[in-house]
Amino acid sequence: MQADNHSKAPTARMDRQSYRYALVLALFMALAGAVVAATGWYLGPPVGDLTRISGLSERDYGWRGEALGYVENQFTPLGQQTLMQHGAGGGIVVFGDSFSAPQPGNVTWLNILHEQSGYPITLVDIATMTEILDYLQSDAYRQNPPVAVIIEMAERTVFRRTLPLFETEGCEPVQTPATIAMSPVPVERRTWRQRQSFSSFDELMSWGALALRLRAIARTKAVNLELSRDDLFSSRRANRLLIYRSDISRHTAQAIAPWSGAEAEKNAICALRTVIHAADGLSEVFVIVPPDKRSVYREWTQDALPEKAVDFLRTLPGSLSGRYIDLLTPLDAAVQSGVRDVYLPNDTHWSAVGHEIVAERVLIRMK
């Protein structure tokens, strides 16, 4: 009997230790869950690409305006393979990146382009100039060329997108494009606002956990700069400018090595001329370069930034004989005059205001 009592004592102690361990673990998990949930709720649902990659608060940096979007997108996304096999038909083909991709609320310059021109719009995700050149040299293009081709690529991507065609043979100047007849069509619009609440508890927990992780490590993709003005954005932290780190890093001498800035600019111009010549006048070809956010707000940035080793916004306008559509000038003018949210405070892209400015400039040049 005494032996039985001795054997039960260690078992009871082990049971108590297991209970305490389980209790501590449960409390830790509950506390961790509460911290994650509270973090997600405090930061708000991630909407902007810059807040998503930095773990910063939408409550601080989120846009809180109201925009006029479209009930449906007025363009057709098309893959490169389908384009090469079947072409894009008539209308306007846009080779674009994230500045042309579908946006929340269907707020995009492509919808405005369709509305004001009357032409069907086809959007092809841009990779490099090589894919565009292949299309312009294809039977699908020759048999049914579009009215116009617009090449849209963000400022920080110009070097790598034109790079495959560097040092191609010939760099003859291009001809000034002809005007394009416009026939505006009515398109139904709708009001759009940025969402301010999570769609589910899972989303709340996922964003909270990711935001904590992003804040615990070095922020390698986004830069938070101080502005000398606090009236250029509608966000709570309107005196701060969020930009991609690549807005800085991709313009450095290291990023374009072994070419110098002058060599990179010359080669990029020649690459674009090669692509424009490939159209053989069957379509009018235009080039637009959305300025990096840093470029538009540069005058109001308090933090010192390195000079650009290559500045395509400076060299392209005078080199493509009217086929380059300058976006920096109208966007810069809007910011200079105090227009708020030309670019979204929480994102690297344009707001509805910015898209309207861009569409207007493109249409003015094409008419």
pLDDT (tens digit per residue) in 340-361: 999 999 999 999 999 999 999 9
pLDDT band at 319 (very low <50, low <70, confident <90, very high): very high
What does the pLDDT look like over 237-294, one tens digit per residue? 999 999 999 999 999 999 999 999 999 999 999 999 999 999 999 999 999 999 999 9
Question: What sign does the dihedral 219-63-121-176 (CA atoms) show?
Answer: negative
3-state secondary structure the chain: CHHHHHHHHHHHHHHHHHHHHHHHHHHHHHHHHHHHHHHHHHHCCCCCHHHHHHCCCHHHHCCCCEEEEECCCCEEECCHHHHHHHCCCCCEEEEECCCCCCCHHHCCHHHHHHHHHCCCEEEEECCCHHHHHHHHCCHHHHHCCCCEEEEECCHHHHHHHHHHHCCCCCCCCCCCCCCCCCCCCCCCEEEEECCCCCCCHHHHHHHHHHHHHHHHCCCCCEEEEEECCCCCCCCCCCCEEEEECHHHHCCCHHHHCCCCHHHHHHHHHHHHHHHHHHCCCCCEEEEECCCCHHHHCHHHECCCCCCCCCCHHHHCCCCCCCCEECCHHHHHHHHHCCCCCCECCCCCCECHHHHHHHHHHHHHHHC
Contact 360, 75 (CB under 8 A): no
pLDDT band at 101 (very low <50, low <70, confident <90, very high): very high
Per-residue model confidence (pLDDT) at position 19: 72
Q: What is d(CA 363, CA 143) in angstroms, rounded to the nearest whole number?
A: 26
Higher pLDDT, 211 or 162: 162
pLDDT band at 311 (very low <50, low <70, confident <90, very high): very high
Whole-prediction pTM value?
0.91
Higher pLDDT, 30 or 177: 177
Per-residue model confidence (pLDDT) at position 9: 61
Question: Which stretch of 60-69, 264-273, 322-331, 334-343 has the lowest confidence by average pLDDT?
Answer: 60-69
* CA-based nearest residue to 116, from 88, 92, 100, 99: 92
Question: Which stretch of 17-26, 254-263, 333-342 has the lowest confidence by average pLDDT?
Answer: 17-26
Per-residue model confidence (pLDDT) at position 67: 92
Q: What is the mean pLDDT of residues 40-63?
A: 92
Per-residue model confidence (pLDDT) at position 18: 74
pLDDT band at 6 (very low <50, low <70, confident <90, very high): low
Mean pLDDT estimate for the chain: 91
- Residue 98 dihedral angles phi and psi, to the nearest 5°: -65, -20
Per-residue model confidence (pLDDT) at position 4: 56
pLDDT band at 86 (very low <50, low <70, confident <90, very high): confident
In our burial notation (b when 16+ CB lie closer than 10 A, e otherwise), range 333-367 reads ebbeeebbbbbbbbbbbbbbbbbbbbbebbbebbe
Contact 141, 87 (CB under 8 A): yes
Contact 311, 247 (CB under 8 A): no
Cα separations in angstroms, 363 against 93, 112, 157, 289, 358: 14, 9, 24, 15, 9
Higher pLDDT, 87 or 141: 141
Per-residue model confidence (pLDDT) at position 12: 62
Contact 172, 273 (CB under 8 A): yes
